[in-house]
Structure 1
Amino acid sequence: MARDPMSVSDARTATKTGQFADLYPYLRIGTGPKTLLVIPGLGDAMFDGEYGRQETWFFKQLFDGFLDEYTVYVVSRPRGLADDYFVEAMAQDYARVLESDTGSASVLGLSMGGLIAQEVARERPDLVERLVVGVSGCRLAANGRPLVRQLRSFALEEDWIALRSHLYEHMFTGVRGRLYPLLSRTAGRLQPPTPAAPGDVVTSLDAVLEYDGSDRLGEIEPRTLVIGAAEDPFFTEAILRETHAGLPDSQLAMYRDGKHGVFLEKRAGFTGWIRRFLEGETARVPQQP
């Protein structure tokens, strides 16, 4: 019997929110036969942990192209992090989510999430089908460290408007790179970031500053896509290439004209490369996608 087209469409974009183990807030999008676990970056500590209408809309737009084939889980860290909750401990928690709640999956880590995703894949390759390190690498670039320390100082002062504006300056290019920081400092004051636990932002930035997985890349077994932008000040072209070279089985996709927010500025191309990689297609290195 033919299925109702409306019910198929509804299932494709269906969402659910909750908490795994009463600790890890999550957003589930779609009901596809495969599973994609998304580990978000610093922004995860910058909101209250409740996936409301705005957060749901954002992730549905970002992962729309995956929903015919995948059930997408965006999984947050707990709120109220311990001061010594570094990347390795975060990875252990995500491994527990994979083992107990989602099952084995392809894993996509964005920015700070890419650091965590590497450790998950290194420690539990049996749970990671394919790995995507998005706008991230084996460690923070040297010239990105002062930028992250500046973000940390804003976090200590709980100046979320300044933190977001400063981050935008290094995320976007062209008109966006000029406009978004300005809007954040002006109209954005009407809707500032709302961390549930302000200390989580400091802890997250400390974890980024502390992490260096360059000497462990050879232990990562799952096939990996390293995808980022050459002008990213946090994970530079040199870091992307070092990460790619150190992995036993990897591909590199690098945008020449993007920064840390390339996954937003070039969303269709960025997610398209990831989809093709997850489906097993051999990718060439994009120069100007």
Structure 2
Amino acid sequence: MFSSITPETGWLDQTYPYVRIGNGPKTLLVIPGLGDAMFDGEYGSTGAVLAWRGFGHFMDEYTVYVVSRPRGLSDDQTIETMARDYARVLETHVGSASVLGISMGGLIAQELARIRPDLLERLVVAVSGCRLSASSRPMGREMRGHALDGEWIDIQCQLHEAMFTGARRRLYPAYSRTLGRLRSPEPATPSDVVVSIDAVLAYDGSDRLAEIDPRTLVIGADDDPFFPEEILRETHAGLPDAQLAMFRGAKHGVFLERKSAFDNWTKRFLEGEETQVRQHPR
């Protein structure tokens, strides 16, 4: 039970908000997605509970660190410079680890693996790929406009529609626009959202995939508007040592909607269970 686990929260180097859960003998670093820029940076007890819900499946074997980007990003930040920040986190605080990058975090994780393969044991690129799909770029620019205007609910609704299927896709945006306005996202530094979106829009690592040495799992969904099947396959094909796992009939939030299967696949990969390219049914 969560009550028997003592989480640790705080700031690494007084710069990187983090939460640590579990006490397994191995280490897993989680690099979060764009939503990381949209909260206040203080994990606290609520953040610890959310980390446990998100990554508790790994706690028996791993000590799990969820590490955020700094608050107050400079305008010239890129995916590559963010990767160098995470390299310092591993070097100074965490040590060598397996790395799970989610969405935008998957872009950062690829660059981290490329520049410091000595710090990574295994790499999971989750609902992410070597670049955004061309068809999703207008949505990214629209979200950037909302960020400039401080329209956080609008960004949240767009993300919900891109992430979920079925009733969730209808109900979550409706909730955000009504009762959700009572607890609107509150970025610690609003410009961080713009900088993060710019970094994602600018990134294309397709010509550098062959430089990534750690064994990699590319895991996502065929109907993800940001990283659809063709991007997942392109990323997998360009990596020298990789496995592809893909869910059919799912979107960007497959790691939440099909959490048990997603976590099991990821955990098996991290534990070294080798499988062929697989496609999970609807």
- When normalised by structure 2's length, the TM-score is 0.97
In the TM superposition, 1:265-280 aligns within 5 A as: 265-280=257-272
Partner of 2:168: 176
Kept after mapping to 2: 8 A contact 1:225/1:251: yes
Q: Find the aligned partners of 2:49 and 2:80 in 1 and give their Cα distance.
A: 30
Q: CA deviation at 1:14?
A: 2.3
Q: Which of residues 242, 248, 251 in structure 2 aligns to 1:256?
A: 248
Partner of 1:27: 19
- When normalised by structure 1's length, the TM-score is 0.95
Structure 1 gap segments, 5+ residues each: 1-5
In the TM superposition, 1:43-192 aligns within 5 A as: 43-192=35-184
Q: State the SS of the aligned residue for 1:137.
A: coil
Q: CA deviation at 1:80?
A: 0.4
Moved more, 142-151 or 54-63: 54-63
Kept after mapping to 2: 8 A contact 1:151/1:167: no
Structure 2 gap segments, 5+ residues each: none
Q: Which of residues 234, 240, 243 in structure 2 aligns to 1:242?
A: 234
Q: CA deviation at 1:9?
A: 7.6
One-letter identity of the residue aligned with 2:50: F
One-letter identity of the residue aligned with 1:237: E
Runs of 4+ displaced beyond 4 Å: none
Alpha-carbon deviations, 1:223-260, whole Å to 9, x = none?
A: 00000000000001000000000000000000011100
Q: Find the aligned partners of 1:108 and 1:201 in 2 and give their Cα distance.
A: 21
Percent sequence identity is 65
Partner of 1:36: 28
Partner of 1:203: 195
Q: State the SS of the aligned residue for 1:129.
A: strand
Alpha-carbon deviations, 1:191-239, whole Å to 9, x = none?
A: 1101000000000000000000000000000000000000000001000
Q: State the SS of the aligned residue for 2:210.
A: helix
Partner of 2:280: 287
Alpha-carbon deviations, 1:20-75, whole Å to 9, x = none?
A: 11111110011111000000000100000000333222221111110111000000
User: RMSD of the alignment, in Å?
Assistant: 1.3
Kept after mapping to 1: 8 A contact 2:9/2:48: no
Q: Find the aligned partners of 1:14 and 1:145 in 2 and give their Cα distance.
A: 41
Kept after mapping to 2: 8 A contact 1:273/1:283: no
Alpha-carbon deviations, 1:127-157, whole Å to 9, x = none?
A: 0000000000000000010111111111010
Kept after mapping to 1: 8 A contact 2:137/2:201: yes
Q: Find the aligned partners of 1:43 and 1:54 in 2 and give their Cα distance.
A: 16
Aligned residues: 281
Q: Find the aligned partners of 2:6 and 2:110 in 1 and give their Cα distance.
A: 29
Q: State the SS of the aligned residue for 1:272.
A: helix
Q: State the SS of the aligned residue for 2:65.
A: strand
Kept after mapping to 1: 8 A contact 2:127/2:221: yes
One-letter identity of the residue aligned with 2:165: T
Q: Which of residues 219, 228, 247 in structure 2 aligns to 1:227?
A: 219
Q: Find the aligned partners of 1:174 and 1:102 in 2 and give their Cα distance.
A: 39
